[in-house]
Amino acid sequence: MDTLPLNASGTEVADKPRWSIAQVEALYDLPFNDLVYRAHGVHREHFDANAVQLSTLLSVKTGGCPEDCGYCPQAARYDTGVANEETLPLDRVVAAARLAKESGATRFCMGAAWRGPKQRDLERVVEMVKAVRALGLETCATLGLLKEGQAEQLRAAGLDYYNHNLDTAPEFYGEIITTRTQDDRLDTLERVRAAGIHVCCGGIVGMGETRRTRATLIAQLANLDPQPESVPINNLVQVAGTPLEGTDPLDPLEFVRTIACARITMPRAMVRLSAGRQEMNDGIQALCFFAGANSIFYGEKLLTTGNPDVERDRALFARLGLRPMSSE
């Protein structure tokens, strides 16, 4: 059955999906050069092919998370050495945002290891969003599931983007996370959208899934209506102590294919080459940019794991003739 139930609940959708799983699989199955050439063409139609958007991440609440996401070093139940820390004070967040801006980032993304924010958590994030915005940075937050009314409070504070990922396709999802469903995630995405916040929604590959599962995830993302403005494609960062430690790594060229499929199916989205970049050589990153990635996390740390330092990225940009995208 290739014309897919594209909503996460697994029920058939009446309207013809814009991208069937079979169509995305057919993209994946193209000869590499044909796929990447096509993706690059789509990229050039919609973007300056030599400009890359830079976002810096900060974990404003690290560790101790009650959820069981099998990839995540911050889940309290896995022994990963990540401690359960307090929420960062506002001045620490502002100092980090200032530094990010000085280094050339245009967007500052605040992440929290919560299932979702409690009201008093949200009030602290609201203050952070206001302060970061006052520095002239775009703001993004990733705080987990949002309850009714919370997205509106974030929007009122000036939040530009909310990151919440589908992570993986429905048929594989239950092997990775049991404490919340994909439908819970779709509810949060709808709340974000309804509040007028831009949606940043993507997933993770390299978790031992099949190509078909990757194609299903891409089709699902591409069939969100409207499509997400930003699509992070994470390559699993294997962390000792998590259940996914020891998973067979994904062929890096299959990662490039995933970027290309995201670009072709979501032509106007910012496709973000996200987690896993530190483990990638410059050649693979260059192929990702050619295949349509036009956004990265910038700065030596993601949330708890490493990211290429600013010097390495500056050297890579110089080598490739890329330049940072200025904010719209």
**Is 239 one of the binding residues for ligand SAM (CB under 6 A)?**
yes
DSSP state of 85: P
Binding pattern to ligand DTB, positions 213-252, x when CB under 6 A? -------------------x-x--x---------------
User: Residue 57 Cβ, how far from ligand DTB at the closest point, in Å?
Assistant: 6
> What is 237-272 written as a DSSP string?
---TTSTTTTPPPPPHHHHHHHHHHHHHHSTTSEEE
Q: Are 202 and 232 in contact (CB under 8 A)?
A: yes
For residue 293, give the amino acid letter: A
Where do contacts with ligand SF4 occur on this chain (CB under 6 A)? Answer: 65, 67, 69, 72, 74-75, 113, 115, 144
Residue 165 in 3-state DSSP?
coil
Residue 261 known to be catalytic: no
What residue has token string 């789509």?
A: 42
Strands, E assignment, 20-71:
51-61
The catalytic residue among 107, 124, 140, 263 is: 140
Rounded Cα distance, 298 and 274, in Å: 10
With CB under 5 to 8 Å by kind, the binding choice for 304 among ligand SF4, ligand DTB, ligand SAM, none is ligand DTB
Give the C-alpha separation, 83 to 69, whole Å: 17
Location of structure tokens 């997400």:
228
Q: How far is the CB of 118 from ligand SF4 (least distance, A)?
A: 14
Site for ligand SAM in 176-215 (CB under 6 A): 204
What is the closest distance, in whole angstroms, from the C-beta atom of residue 13 to ligand DTB in the complex? 25
Minimum gap (Å) between residue 262 Cβ and ligand SAM: 14
What is the binding site for ligand SAM (CB under 6 A)? Answer: 71-72, 111, 113-114, 142, 144, 164-165, 167, 204, 234, 236-237, 239, 275, 303
Residues with a known catalytic role: 65, 69, 72, 109, 140, 200, 272
